[in-house]
Structure 1
Amino acid sequence: MSKRRTVAVIGLGIGRSHIDEGYARLRDQFDLQVICDLNEERLAAVGDEFSVPRRTTSFDEVLAMDDIDIVDICTPPTLHFPQIMAALAAGKQVICEKPLVGSLHEVDQLAATEATSRGRTMPIFQYRFGNGLQKARRIIETGLAGKPYLATIETAWLRGPNYYAVPWRGRFETELGGALLTHAIHSHDILTWLMGDIAEVFARTATRVNAIEVEDCAVASLVMQSGALASLAATLGSAKEISRIRLCFEHVTFESSLSPYAPGDDPWQIIATSPEAEARIAKALEGFKFVPSRFEGLMAAYHQALETDSPLPVTLKDARRSLELITALYHAAETGEAVVLPIGKDHPKYRSWRPAATAPR
């Protein structure tokens, strides 16, 4: 019989979605015992909505609760690193929203700490889950897709003054970045999850939609380790919101649904280059089981990993790869030069990808 894990959710903005789409649908696996938020009105509203027995404004109080197994951190980005470190020190399992931390230096520190901790950290990349993307993943993992050729990734969302009225948003000091870090990071994670590591990055960024400090438009050109090419485009000024992932391989082309916030869901186009490839792909998908979307799919896979002590569905290695791309994108945009990966400890942006004028000293 599987263990029902007790959970505390810290921060009830996106944290409410973790509850609504994840824990509330997976009550046999998770027992949401505690919510924590500085906004007492929101704390009461979410607590009443989901009948949460314990509510507090104190993160330290949560860490002192011996009966809590998992601390799920959904606070502003600059709080993630110290809160993850504190939760690991308290012996908790940790889930944390993106961006996981604010530098490659910090994610490396987390990895070192986790190696000697009782708990593990799962970064959040819920867009990996859904039937369409999971079918593509299976086809690629079996080797049936063949050589990767080209990828085009579009994140065309809409964010305006109301979104940026939240004081910590739109500033490098508190949000740590803009469209590339906070929005397009999901689709860019899917790119590397399906097509592998990146060798070189060139990028340009601009702030054209909102009166903010961070970028809200960006384009980038990538060379993958495999030799495949990829283009990235992101804007927060699209009247029609879409996320589009198109991946061209030797034997098949994949194209995602256009759903902006659930690109992993069906319908995905899976177009084989020949009848023979189509038959092999159909056979590989025989017996494919439904994969829930977004947080439900992610949290179900997470619980299974805890039960079996197997690799988490999203790991610190995944987060580091994502943050390495972020570091390269910002450095390329700032310098006007291509950036070669991997990025090591001697790189000028290893301790912070923020522009020189806003970087911590």
Structure 2
Amino acid sequence: MTRKLRVGIVGAGIAERHLAGFDWIKDLYEVVVLCSLDEDRGRKLCDRYAIPEYTQDVDTLFRRDDLDLVDICTPPDSHFDLSRRGIEAGKHIICEKPLFGSIAEVDEMAGIVARANGPKLMPIFQYRYGTGLQKVKMLIEKGLTGRPFLTTIETHWWRGPAYYEVPWRGKWKSELGGGLLGHAIHAHDMLNYVHGACAEVFSYGATLVNPIEVEDTATLSVKMANGSLASLSMTLGSRKEISRLRFCFHDLVAESILEPYTMGRDPWTFIAGDEAHQARVDEALAAYETHEDGYTRQFELFHAAIVEDGEPPVTLQDARNSLELVTAAYHSQRTGQPTPLPITASHPLYRSWLPDDMRAAQKFQS
């Protein structure tokens, strides 16, 4: 019989998408409590998804013996502390993006998880489980793509003034960054997921769309460790919202659909260099085994990792890779120079990528 994991959720915003994901796999998970300071939204979610208990006291979740897992869906500046408390209380943790506020915190959390010796932490990167992107991974593994040349990723969305009426958005202290961190972070993950580590980044960033503290438009030129190049662009000022991923290999071009929030899903196009190779590609694609996608697939795989004591499908290293790209981009924007990766403890932004005045205030407060 399948072991059902009991879940407590913290938050009532993005948590709704997590709940929809859990709802598809009720044989694997049971959400038994939701914690949110917003009682109206929290109780509505409890009613919609038949969650038996609502609370505003997060401390109770970590003290409960009947919870296997705590799912953190709160603003970014609370992620590290809540994750730490959950791991130290012996709970498995799911945490929304962006995971933490520095590479140092990711490294510190790796130590906390190792010392806890049992609880697992999984960052959220659900877009990598879109069927189209999974087919790219399959074709690479089957040797059907050839050597990579160039990747382009566009995250062109719209966020008007109403979006920033939520008090924590658009501020360095609470959101920890702008569109580069909170929106295009999925693009960074998909780039690393397909090609591995980045080697160097040059970036421009600007605040052009709304009067906020953080950037809402950015471009990145990236050298990958595998020798290929990548170009990423992000804006929250696109009246026509699109996301597009395009991977150019020696033997194949793979291109996504343009849907802004489901770009990883089918139908992607896969165009080979000649008819014979196209036939091989088409044969492989026809044999692809379709799974659930998005949050549901990531949660399925995490369940297997927990019950089989394996590695989470998305790891702290995966989150570190994406946050390294963010850190390097911010450093490049401020210095006007390319920034090499990886980001180590000697890097000036290792402990925080916040602007100098914010970092100074943060250090004084600590």
| Band the TM-score falls in, shorter-chain normalisation | over 0.9
Checking the alignment, whether the CA contact within 8 Å between 1:88 and 1:94 is kept in structure 2 is: yes
Correspondence 1:1-361 to 2 at 5 A: 1-20=1-20, 22-117=21-116, 118-359=118-359, 360-361=362-363
Q: Which runs of 5+ in 2 are unaligned?
A: none
Checking the alignment, whether the CA contact within 8 Å between 1:2 and 1:307 is kept in structure 2 is: no
SS in 2 for 1:128: helix
Checking the alignment, whether the CA contact within 8 Å between 1:199 and 1:225 is kept in structure 2 is: yes
SS in 2 for 1:312: coil
Question: Matches of 1:318 and 1:312 in 2, distance apart?
Answer: 10
Question: Matches of 2:355 and 2:274 in 1, distance apart?
Answer: 48
* 1:326-345 superposed Cα distances (whole Å, 9 cap, x missing partner): 10011101111100111110
TM-score, normalised with respect to structure 2: 0.96
TM-score, normalised with respect to structure 1: 0.97
Question: Matches of 1:220 and 1:260 in 2, distance apart?
Answer: 19
Checking the alignment, whether the CA contact within 8 Å between 2:120 and 2:306 is kept in structure 1 is: no
Offset of residue 145 of structure 1: 1.2
The code of the aligned residue for 1:73 comes to I
| 299-308 or 158-167, which deviates more | 299-308
Question: Matches of 1:157 and 1:320 in 2, distance apart?
Answer: 24
SS in 2 for 1:162: helix
Offset of residue 292 of structure 1: 2.0
Question: Matches of 1:2 and 1:142 in 2, distance apart?
Answer: 32
Offset of residue 308 of structure 1: 2.3
Checking the alignment, whether the CA contact within 8 Å between 1:203 and 1:219 is kept in structure 2 is: yes
Question: Matches of 1:44 and 1:25 in 2, distance apart?
Answer: 21
Offset of residue 357 of structure 1: 2.4
* 1:273-320 superposed Cα distances (whole Å, 9 cap, x missing partner): 122322332343353221223111211222222232222111111001
SS in 1 for 2:161: coil
SS in 2 for 1:285: helix
Checking the alignment, whether the CA contact within 8 Å between 1:264 and 1:293 is kept in structure 2 is: no
Question: Matches of 1:312 and 1:142 in 2, distance apart?
Answer: 24
Checking the alignment, whether the CA contact within 8 Å between 1:155 and 1:260 is kept in structure 2 is: yes
SS in 1 for 2:111: helix
The code of the aligned residue for 1:247 comes to F
Question: Matches of 1:125 and 1:328 in 2, distance apart?
Answer: 20
Question: Matches of 1:287 and 1:248 in 2, distance apart?
Answer: 23
* 1:66-92 superposed Cα distances (whole Å, 9 cap, x missing partner): 010010001110100010000000000
* 1:121-158 superposed Cα distances (whole Å, 9 cap, x missing partner): 00000111122111111111222211110011100000
SS in 2 for 1:357: helix
Checking the alignment, whether the CA contact within 8 Å between 1:242 and 1:258 is kept in structure 2 is: yes
Question: Matches of 1:27 and 1:144 in 2, distance apart?
Answer: 37
Question: Matches of 1:302 and 1:246 in 2, distance apart?
Answer: 28
* 1:148-204 superposed Cα distances (whole Å, 9 cap, x missing partner): 100111000000111100111101111000010000110121011112211100000
Checking the alignment, whether the CA contact within 8 Å between 1:155 and 1:233 is kept in structure 2 is: yes
SS in 1 for 2:87: helix
The code of the aligned residue for 1:257 comes to I
Question: Matches of 1:226 and 1:69 in 2, distance apart?
Answer: 39
Q: Identity of paired residues, percent?
A: 47
Question: Matches of 2:106 and 2:305 in 1, distance apart?
Answer: 21
Q: CA RMSD in A?
A: 1.1
Offset of residue 100 of structure 1: 0.5
* 1:241-281 superposed Cα distances (whole Å, 9 cap, x missing partner): 11100010111111111111111110101111122322332
SS in 2 for 1:248: strand
How many residues get paired?
360
* 1:203-252 superposed Cα distances (whole Å, 9 cap, x missing partner): 00000100100000001111111121111110001011111000101111
Question: Matches of 2:121 and 2:324 in 1, distance apart?
Answer: 18
